[in-house]
Amino acid sequence: MTAQPVLILGGFLITEEAYAPMGRWLEQHSGQPVRLVPASRFDWLLTVGAWGWRRLLDRTAALAEELAAASPTGRITLIGHSSGGVMLRLFLGAEPFQGRVYNGVVVADRLICLGSPHTALRATPLRQLVDRRYPGACFADAVQYVSVAGDLRLADGSATARRLAPGSYRAISGSEAVAGDGLVPVESACLAGSRRLVLPGVAHGGAFGPRWYGTPEVVAQWWDAAIAPETA
């Protein structure tokens, strides 16, 4: 498969430096530019409302168009970590959102979601909107969807993971007794209709365990699986 540029939208309250090792690894192994949508903690706090989503998706659109214009395929790969993966599902669609039409399927043909909470019993109104408009891998005829989920033994995770996981798992799935990455249950992270990859021992973020989706050795695991051709 021909290499193409990569655009990363990170997760709630996680700042740019956390994604630098992932970006360097991807640039080295893809031979293509890798960009991160700039987002401060203040930007993420604003995403409690639709206007905050639009601010980040507008930045995503500008960078996506720039990268696609220089891509050898004319397309790019999108990577969304945590909330970023849910937001990128909205970016792919053509229905107006806050007065803007993104229609990201024109520039992106692959979406890799890392620990993204796609389903939840207590989903926010914005996440409910995403599921209502664009359920599952609804653009699978044009976009390759890949879901990456961590399966972390809490005994191997950080004190933060052990403290937050029970409440988070219960709020998302209705039960504490589920597999997950210390914040998001595996089943929530696996978008219906996508290629699914469950990684043992992988945490939601660096605060949740020593190996997370952005750790270079973990990036190597999900990247190779994500770009491999689909098998019948």
What the chain holds in terms of domains, given with CATH numbers, is 6-226 (3.40.50.1820)
- What pLDDT was estimated at residue 231? 60
Amino acid occupying residue 29? H
How many other C-beta atoms lie within 10 A of the C-beta of residue 55? 16
Q: Is 73 exposed, middle or buried (0-12, 13-18, 19+ CB in 10 A)?
A: middle
Q: What angle do CA 79, 186, 61 make, to 5 degrees?
A: 20
**What does the radius of gyration of the chain's CA atoms come to, in whole angstroms?**
16
**How much is the pLDDT for 182?**
98
Would you say 204 and 182 are in contact if contact means Cβ atoms under 8 Å apart?
A: yes
**Residue that is written with structure tokens 């970016």 in the block:** 91
Name the stretches of the chain with pLDDT < 50.
232
Cβ distance 91 to 61 under 8 Å?
Answer: yes
Identity of the amino acid at 190: C
d(CA 118, CA 182): 16
The pLDDT, as a whole number, for residue 122 is 85
pLDDT at 115: 98
> For 183, what's the count of Cα atoms within 13 Å in the CB-facing half-sphere?
23
Whole-number pLDDT of residue 51: 97
pLDDT in tens, 169-209: 999 999 999 999 999 999 999 999 999 999 999 999 999 99
Spatial CB neighbours of 141, under 8 Å, sequence gap ≥ 6? none
DSSP 76: E
Ramachandran sector of residue 99 (left: φ over 0; alpha: ψ -120 to 50; beta: rest): left
The backbone torsions φ and ψ at residue 108, rounded to the nearest 5 degrees and listed phi first, read: -125, 135
Among 82, 90, 91, 137, which residue's Cα sits nearest to residue 113? 82
pLDDT at 227: 86
